[in-house]
Amino acid sequence: MGSKPTYDQLEKKIEALENALRKEEAFAQNALNSQVDTFYIFDPKEGKPLRWNTAFNKVSGYSNDEIRSMTPNDFYKAEDLEKIKKASQEVLNTGQFIVELSRPFLQLIGSLPL
């Protein structure tokens, strides 16, 4: 049988894994932020935002702190909210969905972007 790893060995392994995770998270966020189209994803059960890109901030006019406290109801018109509701139920049932919204979302001032 092999020997058990020491505390120091485990600590170094955890540190290496944490560093790799930070790099992967930074890569993913950079990839999202390089997109000119908006990207916004939320928890389908609670409606809480999970991730969005800087294009979403720019088009909506909201800061990251504001977006964190909002739900899709704050961004989309009623006809799109119904599509979002159906898509959220589909992702909970099947694990995937695609939804195309008919118009842009509401900006900070409550109007549609030009």
pLDDT band at 113 (very low <50, low <70, confident <90, very high): very low
* For the chain, domain boundaries: 1-34, 36-114
The model carries a pTM of 0.68
Which residues is 51 bridged to in the sheet?
Answer: 41
pLDDT of residue 26: 95
φ and ψ at 84, to 5 degrees? -65, -40
φ and ψ at 40, to 5 degrees? -150, 125
pLDDT of residue 102: 58
The secondary structure of residue 1, as a DSSP letter, is -
- 3-state SS class at 41: strand
pLDDT higher than threshold 80 for residue 74: yes
pLDDT digits (tens, 9 = 90+) for 2-50: 789 999 999 999 999 999 999 999 999 999 999 988 888 888 888 899 9
Provide the sign of the torsion angle of the four alpha carbons 23, 28, 29, 30, taken in this order.
Answer: positive
The stretches of 1-114 forming alpha helices (DSSP H) are 7-33, 54-60, 64-68, 78-94
Rounded alpha-carbon distances, angstroms, from residue 85 to 34, 49, 51, 54, 66: 28, 15, 18, 24, 22
CATH class of domain segment(s) 36-114:
alpha beta
79 vs 60, higher pLDDT: 60
